[in-house]
Structure 1
Amino acid sequence: MDDRTGDATDRGEPGSAGRWRGRDLGTRTVSYDERDAMLYALAVGARPVEDLDLVFERGLRVLPTFALSLAQWAPDVLAGRGAFGDGTALHGAQRLTVHKELPPAGEVTCSAAVTEVWDKGGAAVFEVAVDSAYFHAVWSVFAPGRGGFGGERGPGRPPAPQGDPSHRTRQHTFPAQAALYRLTGDRHLIHVDPVAAAAVGQPRPILHGLCTLAGAVLRLADVLGAHPADLAEVDGRFAAPVLPGDTLDVTAWRDSDGDGAAFEVAREGEAVLTGGRVRFGRAG
């Protein structure tokens, strides 16, 4: 979310965040081809043998989380209009609900709006919803210094899963992953430029949260016996940055109906993704 050009009518003004609720962010038609879908799958960790139909044009299926790359323009538009002020906003959480499977190539028309602005006191949380015939997605953007406008606090954190996990697996990131993933649409400098990463307190460029989330979906499909392209919905909160090359622990608590699970992702005991929910079931 590095597009910070555009009108400056509300650029970081204290107490003004609530006025963004209901703001229309426009409609766009985004085109893509098989190469884009395959590049995305490889960038998030699809394997050329085990996940062949995600990375090979013959019988190609598109990972549903690819939709988030197609809709990345929406939170970028909000940033560009000055909603986040001083540039310290963080991608706090992400939800995706799949309506129907994306074709291997084509066009997707999306409309976007700011559906909520929650007042957390010292910060505001902007919810940006994107809708299309194929999916509904919601970005939650945490903006320090933008709270205190007298709005509702909004929902709290979801409760931690109870009991023993049903599955454990590992998610292996790789050193070039952030540089590769940014070619799918999110070119924020902290994912490739060491100077930009150091400016936000990181030892080197960090992995995109959406890349971590999509990689977790791949590994969860493995352990739950599902095809990753049959993802129906996923939800998660970003708790800490991931460095390309980290090995992550994915823990899941399967639902009683077998179609979904709660999950968490951690690195050496530190949570990097919490409040995770995933469900598989082929879309209509």
Structure 2
Amino acid sequence: MKLLVFLLLPYLSLSEVGKDFNQCRRFFLNNVPPRFIPSLSSTAHICQCVWNESKQKMYVYATLYSTAWRIPIYSAYVFGSPNIGRCDAWYIEPQLDLGTTAEPCMSPKGRKSINNQAVNSDYDGSGYDKGHLYPVQHTNNHLSMLATSTLTNAAPQNSTFNQGAWKTHEGAVIKDLEGCDKAYLAYVVTGVVPDNIKINNRVTVSKYYWRATCCIKSNTFSGKGYYGPDNNNKVQPLSITDLQTQLATDYKVNNITIFPSLPPGHKRPATGGCN
């Protein structure tokens, strides 16, 4: 199986960069992305996808990427579990620098002439991990696992926190979302609030990570928010309303809606909201 992983990697990973998420809206609740864009960040919408074994394009998740910070602002995905293992072969997205004329496939990790995104060498000797936004733990198939290992889905994260409290949190989210109604999807948005620190004078370090989840439990929409590290280097749970308030302050925007409300006349047999 490990041999198969490495043989497939060079030509399976693909993503598309554009001005919207029209090709991958299904990874958002109600097909509507979060309503906010940090005012000081140049952004790119990335529909992360892969070629499957039948050579058909399969979208896996969506990422709003900051070319100014050279880290993702958030990645949105539909929760899956259990995962099937891990392979850390990191890639970049050539379209972020070369435009849509470039091949949409993720390029190997060795490339260095990049302006709008991070590369592997930025992390060398930095003391920071490449912290996944869409984590391997929340994937449930081989192709989704491969697609998470792109630098457009990672930001510099304190290694102790990444491998400790945040990893434990990701496992706890699995247990929580496995309790959702199986007839419906569980939606997750994970993001990064930037700090004033950069590695290699290029890539902005994460001040903290945040996550919001939304699914249906007992015929009612149930949402939870998290962020970390807090002042005690732990993951802090909070309501999505409180998370949105905190994010609006830290991103310096007027307001944020992570999961827009259900539209009038929606036929899902559920009440409440993820806020």
Q: Same fold (TM over 0.5)?
A: no
Given the two structures, how large is their TM-score scaled by the length of structure 2?
A: 0.31
TM-score of the two chains, using structure 1 as the length reference: 0.31
